[in-house]
Amino acid sequence: MLQAGMKAPLFTLPDQDGNSVSLADFAGKKVVLYFYSKDNTPGCTRQANAYAQAYQAFRDLGSVVIGISRDSSASHRRFSDKYELPFLLLSDPERTAIEAYDVWQEKKLYGKVSMGVVRTTYIIDGSGVIEAVMPKVKPDTNAADVLAYLREQEGK
C-alpha cells in the first residue's frame, strides 16, 4: 500500500465524457482520489452521493474530487447523469491507476475469495505527494471523514 509522504503515481485516464484527465492537470490543488468497485451498486452509489452532497464544501476548501473504477466512460456518464454527480469519474478498465495505487487486492465475500478494488481514498497535495491514505473506507462515512480531515488540516 502506498503511504503518506510518497509521490503519487501519475496517470491519464478518460473521464465520463471521454476526455483524457491526468493527475498532473491538478498541480497546485489538493486532490481527493477515491477508488470504488462499480457504478450503480448500493455502496458505491451511497459513497458517490455523499461526495456529491458535500461537493461545495470540498470546492470551498480548494479540493478536487475524483472517483476511479474499472467501469467504462459510458457507464460513468449514465451513473453521473442518474445521480447528478458534479465531480469527475475516471475509467480504468486496464487497472493502470488501480494497480499503481495498490487497490486491486484479494477480497473475501461470503467465504469466496476474488480479486477486486478495495474501497480506498487518497488525499494528494498540490505538489503531487500523498498526504493521507484511508484504506478500506466505509461508503456511508468516507466523504464526511475526508471533509473532516481537510477541515482539520485547514485549521493548522
pTM value is: 0.95
Q: Which of 150, 156, 152 is nearest to 64 (CA)?
A: 150
Q: Which of 116, 98, 99 is nearest to 107 (CA)?
A: 116
Report, as residue numbers or ranges, the catalytic residues. Answer: 44
Q: Mind listing the pLDDT tens digit for each residue in 71-106?
A: 999 999 999 999 999 999 999 999 999 999 999 998
b/e per residue 48-63 (b: at least 16 CB within 10 A): bbbbbebbeebeeeeb
Give the CATH fold of the 12-155 domain.
Glutaredoxin (3.40.30)
3-state helix, strand, coil in the chain (%, to 5): 35, 30, 35
In the chain, where the domains are located: 12-155
Q: What is the mean pLDDT of residues 31-43?
A: 96
Q: Mind listing the pLDDT tens digit for each residue in 46-76?
A: 999 999 999 999 999 999 999 999 999 999 9
